[in-house]
Amino acid sequence: MTDRVVLAYSGGLDTSVAIGWIAEATGSEVVAMACDVGQGGEDLDVVRQRALDCGAVEAYVADARDEFAADYCMPALKTNALYMDRYPNVSAISRPVIVKHLVKAARQFGATTVAHGCTGKGNDQVRFEVGITSLAPDMKCIAPVRDLALTRDKAIDYAERNNLPIVTTKENPFSIDQNVWGRAVETGFLEDIWNEPTKDVYDYTDDPTFPPVADEVTITFQRGVPVKLDGQEVTPLQAIEEMNRRAGRQGIGRIDIVEDRLVGIKSREVYEAPGAMALIAAHQELENVTVEREQARFKRTVEQRWTELVYDGQWFSPLKKSLDTFIDDTQKYVSGEIRMVLHGGRATVTGRRSESSLYDFNLATYDTGDAFDQTSARGFIDIYGLSSKLAAARDEKFGNGPQL
């Protein structure tokens, strides 16, 4: 029986070309596995047929949309995951679910080798290979694009020479990765970081310069997860899709960033994540109302480490699993409603309410009815500042006091 290799297939240039490269280099049959994570655009039946037309002996499509939204996007939302404080890990959170289905397909089709189309410069090679070895230590992994050091120009030439049915051409050189959580665009003229993105770079968002009338939305959360929009029950997938539509119309979620890649180089990336950015803004504000101060402070440290781990391809790592437990515990009381206005590229919170709120109007008000005992403040300040006071007195004693 001929050996088989299961390839993570996106339908784009690199993975389409990789089918022929793998067959030529290894003599193995190639099974293409495409994963639907809500990327929209092309019909996946068309993608499946393209894989067959490019030489795959089998083409398998996994519908992972609801799974991706519930089990990968929602943990990222509960974490407020923003790499470098700006990027909502659009590609990073999709790789583990693709890896899961890649390994599942390999078992199903009797393959002991899996493959991906990543380059040697990117983060995804790490995410795929570390994820694969975490789930299936017995499997081998190959990366023909990286290991043959084939440039994008050479890949396009190969595709044209072999009449492969792909969209990317030398006139349209963007590399695009998208899913329901967002869209990532790189390469082409964007590699000159002085160049401004042109209108054709964007697809999920309209130009925020000329927005439609403001859109008000009320998002209901239950334990950190959106469960209703304007009173209508939604699944995680429906919540993201609807917020993509509404926030995208307002131009919300455009991100142009020079990003620190795992491999040590800086890369210019343009992202669109309208639903993700609006939902994160709403979730953060509800946490401000419901999460205790010290817990919230420590959670910000956990958020950064969680986000870095996921960005670096460590979704299945022991530390990430442990951090998941902490984050889930912080969401115990993150339930309630956030009212938000979407307009002109901004998602602005205008109202919050929660049965589990820690905000006490009677303590917060400065008007009549103030329940805060202000006489307690003096003793609190004396104790709170005592250690600094003692240190300052010592400094004065040894001549190291402040120069006034």
Residues labelled catalytic: 14, 95, 124, 175
* Rounded to 5°, angle at Cα 31 from 109 and 50: 145
127 is in an annotated binding site: yes
15 is in an annotated binding site: yes
14 is in an annotated binding site: yes
376 is in an annotated binding site: no
> What single DSSP character describes residue 215?
E
20 is in an annotated binding site: no
**Residue 283 near residue 239 (C-beta atoms within 8 A):** no
Name the token pair of 79: 């974490």
Helices 44-53 and 13-26, packing angle to 10 deg: 30
Name the token pair of 105: 């397909």
Q: How far apart are CA 382 and CA 377, in angstroms?
A: 9
65 is in an annotated binding site: no
333 is in an annotated binding site: no
163 is in an annotated binding site: no
267 is in an annotated binding site: no
Cα dist from 29 to 1, 3, 25, 105, 116, whole Å:
10, 6, 11, 14, 15
13 is in an annotated binding site: yes
396 is in an annotated binding site: no
Name the token pair of 96: 């583990």
The full DSSP string for 89-117 is: -TTTTHHHHHHHHHHHHHHHTT-SEEE--
**341 in helix, strand or coil?**
strand
- Measured in degrees and rounded to the nearest 5, phi and psi for residue 178 equal -145, 155
**73 in helix, strand or coil?**
helix
87 is in an annotated binding site: yes
Which residues fall in the annotated binding site for L-aspartate? Answer: 119, 123-124
Which residues fall in the annotated binding site for L-citrulline? Answer: 87, 123, 127, 175, 259, 271
Which residues fall in the annotated binding site for ATP? Answer: 8-16, 117
Which residues fall in the annotated binding site? Answer: 8-16, 87, 117, 119, 123-124, 127, 175, 259, 271
